Amino acid sequence: MARSVRIPVACAAILPLAAAPAFAQDRVKLSVNGSLRARAETIGGQFRPNTPEHDSFLSFRSMLAAKAEIGGFTLGGELVDARGYGERDRSSVRTNEINDLEPVQAYLAWRPARGMQLTAGKFAMDIGASRLVGRTDFPNGVPTYLGAKLEMQDERRNQLFLFWTRPFTALPDTPEDIYDNKVQLDRATENIEFFGGNAMLARLFGRTGFETYAFRLIEHDRATHPTRNRRLVTFGVRLRQAPARHALDYEVETALQRGLARATAAVTDVRDLRVRAGFVHAEMGWTFGGSWAPRVAALFDYASGETANPDTFTRFDTLYGARRADFGPLSLYGALGRANIVSPGIRFEARPSKRLDLMASVRGAWLASAIDSFSATGVTDRAGRAGRFGGTQFELRGRRWLVPRELRLELGAAWLAKGRFLHDAPNAPRTGDTRFAHADLAFSF
């Protein structure tokens, strides 16, 4: 006998995907889930040029997903509504935080055999550690793609992931429309192809897993949007031994980037440069016993920056990667990223209870190249006279489930003690150290 399912009216925007195969009610497995999040954040001592020294932002994100499984097929959809208020004129808020009423997923998946799934349509992706292709929870916006992907996994949890896509451009893309919360559907970028694959061995030796990947990005100018005509190949490897009590854990990921690109997106720039870039992430930690199971880890990140060689382009392109886990909070903050950086650090994590987890970290940040823009700050000294020390970042975060698996509170703060470069570079804002704080309240159902 078929089981009746009551669906809230708010699901109507994506239910056509889930309800289409109603002809087989007794064999349809329908699921609906979602979340609501409110975030308040503030920043002072801004590090970005040409933005307010102080800014505050209140954002609301609603997510609703539904899927129907019929035999070996799944129809799925997801709707995200991300709105924001209170930011100042010339704020750094962009489509990562405001993207109103966007269907971020609408796909058909087929499982022809055990451990194999082929998906076509519009979807989000998380590959490996998400450093080059990722969907993280901190930003309100969701990077999405139009295309197809193949996922395979055997009984030992070894995995193969292949994909071909056209990434979506988030719209609207003008500050005025973004601040006004204008509703405009994102557009699949006809001038960009992004494809590749990732293979993972769950256990290469002992408890250590191994991944290798290769991604190809091909970009061409569009009539209204000139580009740098990137034609990149990014290939890398990752070794990881997961944290465990009374044990050493580690992770090493490194990637090289090759191909061609232009120095700028100017229409008059038609000279191709050889791309020679790369990044490294290394981490080693120890988890102690006891009820809190504290973990202490040493961290190191390097990503190449642009040099004075006129025939090459050496600034690493992080593609569609996520950076929250390695470099701290984003949105109004987001000073550090995977480009032109040398950054060692230490992180402390603990879980005093099943409902509470804590994290604290400190890391220094230097420029890999003194003449390139420093990481994600937009601050540049083409003469290289401001030195290489960007500053020291301190971060604190606490998360507590007020109602297990339903209502969670997150509090976080970051302090960027600016180094010589962020004081002396020609376009560095004449402000003090950067202070950032945020509070999130999220309800899941």
pLDDT at 412: 98
**Region 424-429: what's the mean pLDDT?**
98
Q: How far is CA 152 from CA 97, 149, 163, 196, in A?
A: 33, 10, 12, 15
Residue 292 has pLDDT above 90, yes or no: yes
Better-predicted residue by pLDDT, 176 or 225: 176
Q: Select from 2.40.160.100, 3.30.60.50, 3.90.550.10, 3.40.50.2020 the CATH code of 29-444.
A: 2.40.160.100
Element (H, E) at 324: helix 324-327
Contact 401, 421 (CB under 8 A): no
pLDDT at 222: 82
Domain boundaries, the chain: 29-444
Residue 384 has pLDDT above 80, yes or no: yes
| pLDDT single digits (tens) 294-337 | 999 999 999 999 999 999 999 999 999 999 999 999 999 999 99
| pLDDT single digits (tens) 4-32 | 333 333 333 443 444 444 444 558 999 99
What is the band of 45 on the pLDDT scale with cuts at 50, 70, 90? very high
**Cα angle 327-333-335, degrees, rounded to a multiple of 5:** 50
pLDDT at 428: 98
Residue 3 has pLDDT above 60, yes or no: no
pLDDT at 180: 97
**Region 77-104: what's the mean pLDDT?**
97
Buried b (16+ CB within 10 A) or exposed e, 139-171: bbbbbbbbbbbebebeeeebbebebbbbbbbbb
Q: What percent of the chain has pLDDT over 90?
A: 91
| pLDDT single digits (tens) 53-67 | 999 999 999 999 999
Which two three-digit tokens encode residue 437?
């704080």
**Region 353-373: what's the mean pLDDT?**
98
- Residue by residue, what is the 3-state secondary structure of 17-50? HHHCCHHHHHHEEEEEEEEEEEEEEEEECCCCCC
pLDDT at 315: 98
| pLDDT single digits (tens) 183-220 | 999 999 999 999 999 999 999 999 999 999 999 999 99
